[in-house]
Structure 1
Amino acid sequence: MTFGIDFGTSNSVVARWTGNGTEVIRVDSAALPAEWNRPGFDELFPSVVSLRDIQRTLCFGWSAKCETAEPQDAVKRMLASRPRAMDEDESLPAGTVPEEHEVWFGDEPFRSTAVAAALFDQMRAGVRRNLREMEEAVVTVPANATGAARYRTRAAARLAKIKVKALINEPTAAAISYAHDFPGEGRFLVFDWGGGTIDVTVLEHYDGIFDEMASRGITALGGLEFDEALVKLVLAKLGTHPDRLTRLEARRWRRHVELTKIVLSQPGTDQVLFEPLGGLPPVVVHREEFEEAVEPLVRRALVPLDECLQDVGLTAHDLDAVLMIGGTSQIPLVRREVERVLGKAVVDARLCKPMTAVARGAAITAAEIDGLVPETTISVATSHDLGLSFEAGGRRGFATLVPRYSTLPARGTRSAMPAVRGASKVVLEIVEGDGKRAADDERTFPLARLELPVPQPGAEPPSNVFDVDYHYDRSGILKVHAKARHTGAVILDEELDCFGPDGTPIAQGLDRELERLLRRVTEPAVSEAVPVPPTTETSFEHGLSPESTGAEETPSLVVDGRGIMTAGRTAASPRPPSVRLLGSALTAIKRRYPDHRVVTVLGTDLVDSVEYEDRHIVDRGVGEGLIVTVPASSPQLVLSVAQQLDAVVVSMEDLTRFRTPHPWVTESGRFVKLARVDRDWLFV
């Protein structure tokens, strides 16, 4: 069965070829929350991964996006970018390749490729729930994706046991989908603006051939930046900053902002009532205010539009259709500005569905590869200049091998030889970027640093000439073939898939990393290293802290705070955990054990649920070492803290099931059970 996958920054979509058309597979619609149940949203799979707040198990899609405090999105951006922003006075050493981003879940880091693979794995599982099996697919990438993004995207799909038949650029996929539904030839301009990137592409469609002519874009400009602009607008209207929001509230704030943006983008909506959390008053956000706030972002997005037309020497009058795809492109201001600049109307969103056209086009491409779509040929062009980096008077020069907009497959050749007699190797520093700029420019991405061993180091350089062939396949994956000219011996013949400074292939070890990550779906992520508080303490307000003894050798007493803060509350109770109740218990504990240093253990899930007016009490306790926070509230982590401090444990649970792994709890004086009777605290 033939599938297409649009792997997006904010959302992904899976489609399949049905024989004469395409259909979208709803891989996560069962988890769609009611407030997000809008037309077409059931076709989306949010590209989000997270740990559940309480269970600390891994979740994906709508559950990760809307039900957790720390959702991890924009993984797609990580596949293309450097792991950290370089300072102005800092540069990568010659030949050094930037490392890959890492994403932390609990106490474990995972490479971005492994996290992306987990998302592909979940899409495959969603297709299986629809009684189908997705073993191969065409996967889309941004038109201006770097080599790193292409390799890592393909590697991620491969890890999820999805054979990648081809990588195709997103704008081309959208044009294929439109041309399939509304047959016609001509020049198309595709304005692709989604959650993370913007790409503007001009392509021709004639005699069943889709040929990219030019593409320009910005890799970090999209819906995420619009969300940030809306947050700043709301804060300005409030005249304050909700800097005391818990992670739970911050997550709700963020999703509320995104929903507000979506509602303001609907035709006929002029204003939205935004109700902040934390006791802040509601404010009305008008569409005019929102458009004024995001107008600078729209201006930036129009730059690649102009550049793209200039690259091919065309004007808007030379275009037969303008397609706008991606969620951000549907904002009314964006559509109006594109129409104003081009002086012509864009294709109606009902004729080229902005959120699913890319996946549909990918499915059609997969069918074309299988020979199921006669008289159709899809041709993709390179989006960057491919070249070699070399020393050039303090900067790195850029020698172009394959120019931008070369139709794939594409090839470039160049000879190489040692600079001096006696050299043992010839180094090839391969880069992608703009050949008109220096190779150490921030917009140039180093692909690989290859070393060719010199066959006869003692001979003159002309006797050690290499003929090197650089070949892009149809998916834009680069292969390098080098042979010694005088002997014909093949020195190098490999596909470039290394992006680590040590030349480690990106797939090495990722299968085990993905397996470890997916175990988190059922196994809670628990931090092994529990921070130990300082040996002294300082009192703080509302009776949460007992009096300090000031003695460094004071015996310790560790309190299981969860049972106390939720005493008398059921799972169905709407009341949040009580800081006042904990303060009351600690006062009784300190009265009973005046010579002990008291430390309270709380899970971050519990801390996130504390009432707004009491959060500063908990924050202060954490800052002063009187409260230790752990990833999730559990007696086992309480015992871990107590064992490190050699402390007495106070809990409202009897801890019977933990006495085998922690036999020291059975020792005399190591465990005290706390009980609440009416308004009194009793010690057993």
Structure 2
Amino acid sequence: MTYGIDFGTSNSVVARWTGNGTEVIRLDSAGLPAEWNRPGFDELFPSVVSLRDIQRTLCFGWSAKCETADPQDAVKRMLASRPRAADAEGYASSGAVPEEHELWLGDEPFRSTTVAAALFDRMRAGVRRNLREMDEAVVTVPANATGAARYRTRAAARLADIKVKALINEPTAAAISYAHDYPGEGCFLVFDWGGGTIDVTILEHYDGIFDEVASRGITALGGLEFDEELVRLVLTKLGTDPGRLTRADARRWRRHVELTKIALSQPDTEEVLFEPLGGLPPVVIHREEFEGAVEPLIRRALVPLEECLRDVGLSPDDLDAVLMIGGTSQIPLVRREVERVLGREVVDARLCNPMTAVARGAAITAAEIDGLIPDTTISVATSHDLGLSFEAGERRGFATVIPRYSTLPARGSSSAMPATRGASRVVLEIVEGDGQRAADDERTFPLARLELRVPQPHGDPAGNVFDVDYHYDRSGILKVHARARNSGTVILNEELDCFGPDGTPIARGLDRELERLLRRMDEPLVNGTRPAAEKQEEPTGSLAFPESETGVSTPSLVVDGRRIVTAGRTAASPRPPSLSLLGSALKAVRQRYPERRVVTVLGTDIVDAVEHEEQQLLDQAVAEGMIVTVPTASPQAVLNVAQQLDAVVVSMDDLTRFRTPYPWITESGRFVKIARVEWSWVFA
């Protein structure tokens, strides 16, 4: 039996075809916490992975979202990674293609495709708990998903032993679901705004055929950004500068913020009491305040709506139905603004379920592929121009091969030849994006860099012409075929699945990495460290060492900050952890060891308990790599950091009891004990 999977940024949904309709499979409803027990939420599987705070074992879904200190979400966004702006020039000259994001769990990095595969595996396990097997599926992707996102999504499902029969765009799936439940033909506009992306798509539905004709979107704008604006609003009402919102603030209040946003999205709710953590006073958030805070985001979201209509020369009067799907699209102000711009009402959410319509449409598509629904044909169009990048002065040119909105499967062709006599190869730099823009524009995604070997390097370049065929299959996966024109010899014939700078196929080695990751559901992950760079968008996977003038890494010294921040305090005086106290200890450490680089280890439980006025100082120290945070601070976590840095350990604890697992701490000069005597710090 073939299923439909809506793999979402915040939540995922699985549905199946029952013979005359669709059924949503409740994958994790038993783990739904009471405060999240709202209509329809039992059909959602949070796309979240985390480590349990005490056991340090891996968990997914509702447990990861609501029962752990550091839930990791938005894996779907990571699948669409591309070079940072600073790397664009390097790409153009070297041909490197974007590296994959890594997600740190404990002290181990895992590639985003691996983590996505683990989420698919848990969805498959959830189906199995319902006494069924999900071996095949149609999987949905954002309409404007890059080539990398499509390849990695398919690879992730494949790693979880789910055969992907097709990848279809989320708005198309929603339109298919609506048209199946309420038969009718015409022109549909789908406004798809969920947790991570926004897509606006226009489709035509005639004689059982669904055909995408236009799509525009923004790949990083959704519910996550609404959460950040809500946190800024709370900080403003608390009298704190909202311009200094940090990722730590967003993480600290994540679950409460999301619940508040959901409550304010209900038509009958005008205000919500928000109670911040850390002993801060509660504040009342009014609907008007929330709508004022998110209005700029909504204005941005209306741009692709207007672009989409303009692309195909349609007016709102030409539309037969407007569907709004995704959690963010259900915020009352969003619906009102879309209706204002279009001058018409949108389809009621009760007629097109915003949270499950995509999965249902994918299940219907699966049934159509299997021949279970006669007289229905589903056609999908490309969402980007496919082209070649070439030298064109200061900017790189974009030569379109397959234009945007080509119906899949789609083909295009081009010819290529050596630039000069004696050249041994011809390089094809394949890109996806907007053909009206430069190939090194930030909206262009470098898909692959292929080299064609020239059969007769010293011959006339005109005699070394290649004919290159580009073919998108129904899933939007690209295959490239190249042959020498004179001899007919096939030079290249492959499916593009490479997104590493060394050309490593996307799935190589990921199966072993997935196996290692899933073992962590039973085996605890050691409380390790993450590099300071992980606080940025793309973790590097290694701690940065400052270099001396001689080029040799500066020796490091790791300070166990757990007890220092509460030194001399008792249960009778449970004051918050003190950064001032830590600062005085670090001053003494630097005076005693001026030649050492000092790194302090703190647990996120301590970080979250620091007084509000000291949060900015703490976040700055974390960003600069002076403080490393670990999920739960422990002697083992400190020793793991020190072991990675080959560093001396400074602690108020007697760590010699760990000499068996960490024998190096018994070596001379590897462990220094620090103590607070009256107002001074002394070393032993």
TM-score with structure 1 setting the length? 0.82
Shift of residue 86 of structure 1? 3.3
Tell me if structure 2 keeps the 8 A contact 1:70–1:247: no
In 2: Cα distance, 1:386 partner to 1:329 partner: 30
Q: What secondary structure does 1:203 align onto?
A: strand
In 2: Cα distance, 1:404 partner to 1:244 partner: 40
Give the letter aligned to residue 127 of structure 1: V
Q: Quick check: 1:253 aligned with 2:253?
A: yes
* Change beyond 3 A, Cα 1:255–1:660: closer
* Change beyond 3 A, Cα 1:151–1:523: same
Partner of 1:143 in structure 2? 143
Shift of residue 520 of structure 1? 2.3
Partner of 1:481 in structure 2? 481
In 2: Cα distance, 1:481 partner to 1:50 partner: 42
Partner of 1:527 in structure 2? 528
* Change beyond 3 A, Cα 1:566–1:80: farther
Shift of residue 43 of structure 1? 0.9
In 2: Cα distance, 1:265 partner to 1:559 partner: 42
Tell me if structure 2 keeps the 8 A contact 1:557–1:648: yes
Shift of residue 68 of structure 1? 2.1
Give the letter aligned to residue 507 of structure 1: A
Give the letter aligned to residue 29 of structure 2: S
Greater Cα offset, 310-319 or 354-363:
310-319
Partner of 1:607 in structure 2? 606
Q: What secondary structure does 1:80 align onto?
A: coil
Shift of residue 17 of structure 1? 1.1
Q: Quick check: 1:376 aligned with 2:357?
A: no
> After the TM superposition, which residues 242-641 of structure 1 pair with which residues of structure 2 at under 5 Å, given as runs?
251-521=251-521, 522-527=523-528, 604=603, 607-608=606-607, 612=611, 632-634=632-634, 636=636
Partner of 2:219 in structure 1? 219
Gaps of 5+ in 1: 532-555, 588-594, 672-684
In 1: Cα distance, 2:663 partner to 2:297 partner: 61
* Change beyond 3 A, Cα 1:340–1:485: same
* Change beyond 3 A, Cα 1:238–1:378: same
Shift of residue 227 of structure 1? 1.2
In 1: Cα distance, 2:355 partner to 2:606 partner: 37
* Change beyond 3 A, Cα 1:420–1:181: same
In 2: Cα distance, 1:252 partner to 1:468 partner: 52
TM-score with structure 2 setting the length? 0.82
Query: 1:332-383: CA deviations, max 9, x gaps?
Result: 1111111111111111000000000000000111111111111111000011
Query: 1:366-407: CA deviations, max 9, x gaps?
Result: 111111111111000011111111111232111111111110
Tell me if structure 2 keeps the 8 A contact 1:408–1:473: yes
Shift of residue 84 of structure 1? 3.8
Query: 1:53-78: CA deviations, max 9, x gaps?
Result: 33322222222222222222111111
* Change beyond 3 A, Cα 1:85–1:519: farther
Shift of residue 255 of structure 1? 1.7
Query: 1:436-485: CA deviations, max 9, x gaps?
Result: 11111111111111111011112112221111110000001000011111
Give the letter aligned to residue 402 of structure 2: V
Query: 1:487-518: CA deviations, max 9, x gaps?
Result: 11111100011112222111111112222222
* Change beyond 3 A, Cα 1:350–1:662: closer
Tell me if structure 2 keeps the 8 A contact 1:530–1:630: no
* Change beyond 3 A, Cα 1:131–1:171: same
Q: What secondary structure does 2:253 align onto?
A: helix
Query: 1:200-254: CA deviations, max 9, x gaps?
Result: 1111111111011111111111111111111222222221259999999864512
* Change beyond 3 A, Cα 1:83–1:123: farther
Tell me if structure 2 keeps the 8 A contact 1:557–1:650: no
* Change beyond 3 A, Cα 1:481–1:237: same
Query: 1:114-165: CA deviations, max 9, x gaps?
Result: 1111111111111112211111100000111111111111111111111100
In 1: Cα distance, 2:428 partner to 2:618 partner: 54
* Change beyond 3 A, Cα 1:233–1:529: closer
In 2: Cα distance, 1:527 partner to 1:314 partner: 56
In 2: Cα distance, 1:560 partner to 1:289 partner: 39
Query: 1:80-108: CA deviations, max 9, x gaps?
Result: 13254538998753633122212122222
In 1: Cα distance, 2:336 partner to 2:94 partner: 45
In 1: Cα distance, 2:28 partner to 2:568 partner: 34
Q: What secondary structure does 1:447 align onto?
A: strand
* Change beyond 3 A, Cα 1:566–1:122: farther
Gaps of 5+ in 2: 533-557, 586-591, 593-597, 672-684
In 2: Cα distance, 1:416 partner to 1:627 partner: 53
Give the letter aligned to residue 236 of structure 2: A
In 2: Cα distance, 1:108 partner to 1:274 partner: 35
Partner of 1:549 in structure 2? none
Give the letter aligned to residue 604 of structure 1: G
* Change beyond 3 A, Cα 1:418–1:227: same
Partner of 1:206 in structure 2? 206
Q: Percent identity?
A: 77
Partner of 1:40 in structure 2? 40
Shift of residue 654 of structure 1? 11
Tell me if structure 2 keeps the 8 A contact 1:499–1:506: yes
Partner of 2:96 in structure 1? 96
Partner of 2:682 in structure 1? none
* Change beyond 3 A, Cα 1:467–1:65: same
Partner of 1:679 in structure 2? none
Shift of residue 608 of structure 1? 4.9
Q: What secondary structure does 2:520 align onto?
A: helix
In 2: Cα distance, 1:626 partner to 1:23 partner: 52
* Change beyond 3 A, Cα 1:651–1:429: closer
Partner of 1:61 in structure 2? 61
Shift of residue 170 of structure 1? 0.3
Query: 1:24-57: CA deviations, max 9, x gaps?
Result: 1111112212111111111111111222233322
Tell me if structure 2 keeps the 8 A contact 1:559–1:651: no
Tell me if structure 2 keeps the 8 A contact 1:242–1:278: no
Give the letter aligned to residue 132 of structure 2: R
Larger Rg computed on CA atoms: 1
Tell me if structure 1 keeps the 8 A contact 2:526–2:637: no
Q: What secondary structure does 2:361 align onto?
A: helix
Partner of 2:17 in structure 1? 17
Tell me if structure 2 keeps the 8 A contact 1:247–1:608: no
Tell me if structure 2 keeps the 8 A contact 1:561–1:601: no
In 1: Cα distance, 2:648 partner to 2:322 partner: 70
Q: What secondary structure does 1:175 align onto?
A: helix
Shift of residue 526 of structure 1? 3.4
In 1: Cα distance, 2:560 partner to 2:443 partner: 53
Aligned residue pair count: 633
In 1: Cα distance, 2:626 partner to 2:197 partner: 45
Partner of 1:540 in structure 2? none
Greater Cα offset, 629-638 or 310-319:
629-638
State the superposition RMSD in angstroms. 4.2
